[in-house]
Structure 1
Amino acid sequence: MGGRLPLFRDLLPRGLLGRSVLIILVPILLLQAVALQLFYGGHLDVISRRLAGGVAGDVAMLVELLQRETIEDRSWIFREASWRLDLALAFEAGARLNAVERRASMPLLPLEEDLNRALEERLRLPFDTDWQSDPRSVIIRVQTPDGVLHVEAPRKRLFTATLYLFVIWLVGSALLLSAVAVVFMKNQVRAIRRLAGAAEAFGLGRDIGTIKPEGAAEVRQAAQAFNRMQDRIRRFVGQRTDMLAGISHDLRTPLTRMRLALAMLPRSADTEEDLSALTADVEEMERMIAAYLAFARGEGTEQAAPADLVELVQEVAAKARRSGATVEVVAPSGLMLPLRADALRRCLGNLLDNARRHGRLIMVAVDTVSRGEPGDEAAPAWAQITVDDDGPGIPAAGREAAFRPFASGAPGGTGLGLAIARDIVRAHGGEIALEQSPLGGLRARLRLPV
C-alpha cells in the first residue's frame, strides 16, 4: 500500500486547475459510466434480444412456408415477405452453403450475437450471417434441403437509434461540463496565480501596488488581506527607517562635533596616540551607525533592473583591491540579470570585506548552475557566485549562527555584514550559504535566479 500511494500521487495533476477539474469530472464520469452500464447491460440487451428474435422468427416462418410449397408456387411468399415483413428473398436451388468466417462489424454492440443465437433457436438448420457486404442490411443465408435461401433484412429492424442518442447525450454532456468547469476554474486559478505572483514580487522588494480583488469570495478576501498586509508592512518599514534615520542624524551631529573638537585639539608627542585612538573610535562609531541604518532599511527602496552581474563583480573586486586585498576573479564575459545593483554591490562588498579581514587571498568565481537534477537542461538556472578565502574559516556548527545580526567574531566588525548579505540575496529570490573553501578558509556561495 505504501509503495502504491506515491505512484498514485505522481499521476495526479500538480496544478490547482487540473485537480479542480478532475474533482468535478470524476464523479460525473463515474455516474455516466454507471448509467451506460445500466443501459448497455439492461435496456439495450433486452431490446436487442427482442428485435433479433423477431427477425429470426420471420426467417424461420419463411423457411417453413417455402418448404411446404413447390418452387413454382413460392412467388407469393417472396412477394408477401417483401411487402409485409420488409425482407428481400432470393432462392438458389441446389446450392450448398459454404462455411465462411464470421467477422464482427459492430463489436461494441450485442446485435450479431443476439441474432445468431435467435436463429439457432428457431431455425434448426445450417445458416450464415453476412454483415459486411451491405452497410444497410444483414444477409442471412439458410441451407434448406433443396438449396440456399438468401434473406436480406434491413439493419434498422435489428438496431435502435436510442443508443446513438444516449451516447451523444453522455459524450456531449461530459464535454459541455468539462468546458464549463475549465472556463470557470481558469478564472478562479488566474486570480490565485495573480495573488501568488504579487506575493512573490512583494517578497522580492518590488513595488507592485495594490492588487485588484477578483474571483471567488475567498480569493477576493485573500487579495484584500494581502493588500492590507502590504500597507501595514510598508508603514512599519517606513516608520522604522524614519526613526533610525532620525537617530542616525541625531547621533552624527555630536559625533561630527567630537571629530571637529579632536581635530582642533593641540597635538603633542604625549597626546598624539590618545587623540588618534579617539578619532578612530569616532570613525568606527560612524561606520556602525551607517551599517545599522542600512540593515534597518534593508535596501528596500531600490527596484530591480537588468544589469551585468560579471561587470558588477569586477567593480566590487577592483574596490577591494584598492583597499589592499588580493582578489582574483574567474567569470564569463557577461551575464545579464534583473538586479538591485546597489544592494548587491553592498552584499558582495560585505563578503569581500569579511574575507579580506580573515585571509590574504580571495578568489571570486561566477558561473551558472541548473536548479534541477544533473543533466536536466530544461530546468531554470541559478547565477552562482563563490567567494573563497584562505583564512581560518568557520566551523560547520557555527556557520548558520554567523548570519545572525550582531554576531561578530572579528575585531572592528559590526556583526551585520553577513546578515545584510543574506537579506539582500533573499530579496533577489536567491540563497546564500557558508561552506568549507578549497583554499582552506571559508566559502560564501550565492545563488541568484536567472
Structure 2
Amino acid sequence: MPFSRTHSLKSLIRRYQLAFLLILTAAAGLGGLWSIFWQSGYQSSLRLNGLLIEAQAVRGDLYRQIKALDETKGAGPGDDYWQRLYRIDEHFYRMRHFADTAAERDTIARMEAAYGLLLAAMNRVVTNPADPNARETTLGPWQAGDFETAYSELTAQVAAQRNALSQRMQLWNRLAPWLAWLPLALGVAVAIWLNRRFVRGFVRPLEQLVADTAALGRGQLSYRLTRRGVDEVAQLATTINAMAAELEHNRQALVERERQAALGALVPVIAHNIRNPLAGIRANAQMLDRHATIEDIEETGEDIIDAADRLERWLGALLAYLHPLQLTREPHALDTIVDAAVAALGARVSAHAVRLRRTRSNAQVAVDAPLLEQALHGLIANALEASPEGAVLGLETDVVDECVQLLIEDQGPGMATTVDLHAEAPMASTKRRGTGLGIPFAFKIIKAHDGELAFESMSEGGTRVRVRLPAWKTT
C-alpha cells in the first residue's frame, strides 16, 4: 500500500521524537498532578486538624478558666485564670490563621463573640467576687449560650470537609493503578502507530527498491522503479531511474557502434571467404575448353554447383555473424565437417603439392555446421598456405576427455606473431592478400560452441592447431 502522504525521513524521525517527548510530558504531568493532589490533601488535612485542635483547645481552656473562677470562692482569680485568658486569645488567632472558607471564619467569629460575652460575665465576677448573682449569671450563658452552638457548627464543618477529603483520596486511590499505566499504554499505542508509518514510509519502500534494483542488475535497463515512501527513498528511485535510462541509452549506442564495427570488420571477412570458392569456380571453368568431353563438362559443372551452394551457405552464416550468434545445433560427425572444409579448398591442395594425412574417429558433435565449416576452413587454409611444397598436412580427429578434438599440423616455419585470441582487432597477416580476420573469426565460432582453440609450436617445426568441442551424447 503506498504511503498516504509523502514526508521526508527527517520529518518522520522528528515525529518519533515529538511523540516520545509528549509521552514523557504526559507521564511527568500525571506524576506532577498526583504529587500536587497529595500535597494539597496533606495540607488540607493538616489545616483541618489544626483548626479542630485549636477549637478544642479554646473550649478546654474556657472550661478550665470558668472552673478556676469558680474555685476562687470570693477571692480574686489566680494566675491560672489569667494564663487561660491569654491562651484562648492565642488559640483564636491560630484558628483565624487555619480558617480557609467564609463559613469557617463566620463560625470562628461567632465563637469569639460568644466567648466575649462569657468573658464580660466572668469579669463581673472578678470585679465583684462576693456577689453570688454574678456567678449565677456567668454559668448560665456557658451552659446555654451561643458558644457551644458555634463550636458544634465548626466541628461539623471540619468533619464534613474531612469526609469530602477522604472521599477524594479514595477516588484517587482507585484511579491510581489506571493512571499509572496510562502513559505506558499511550506510549505503546503511539509507538505502534509510528512504527507502522515508519515501515510503510521507509522500510517497505526501501526493501522494494532493493528488490527492483535486482532487475536492473540482471540487465533489464528498461525497468523503472516506482516512487513511493519518504522523500529520500522516492528521490533515490528517481535517481536510479534516470541512471538506468542513461545506461540504456549508452548501451544502445554501444551496441550500435559494435554493430557498425562488426559490419566494417565483416566486409574483409566476406571478401576473404568468398575469394576461395570463387577461385575454385574459376579454376573449374577454365578447364571447360572446347576440347572437353561431355563427362568432363558434367563433372566440372557439378563441382561448380557444389562450390556455389557452399558459397551461399557461407554468405548466410557470415551475415548471421553481424548479430549475436544464434547457433542452430544439430548432431554431425566432425570428420564430415572437416571433409567439407577441405573440399572448399578445391585444387589448392594439389597446386601446393601438399599431401593430406587424415586420421578419423567418427566422433559426433552438436554444432552449427555451416559456421563451424567456415571456421575450420580458415584454419586449414592457413596451415596449407604455411606448408612448403611436398609437405604433409595432418588432420587428426579423436575423442579426449569427453571432448572431440581436431589437430591440424603443418610443416611450415611456424607462426610469426603471438596469437591473441581475445583481441577484437584483426591480427597482423603475413599473407599477401590476408585480412587478419581468419583466426579471430574461427575463435568466435568455436567459443560460441563451448569449445577451445589453441596454437602451439612443434619441436620438429611447424604449428599445431588444437580444436576441442564437447562431444554429443545420445540419450
TM-score of the alignment, normalized to the shorter chain, above 0.5 = no
Class of the TM-score when normalised by the shorter of the 2 chains:
0.3 to 0.5
| Higher percent of residues as helix | 2
| Higher percent of residues as strand | 1
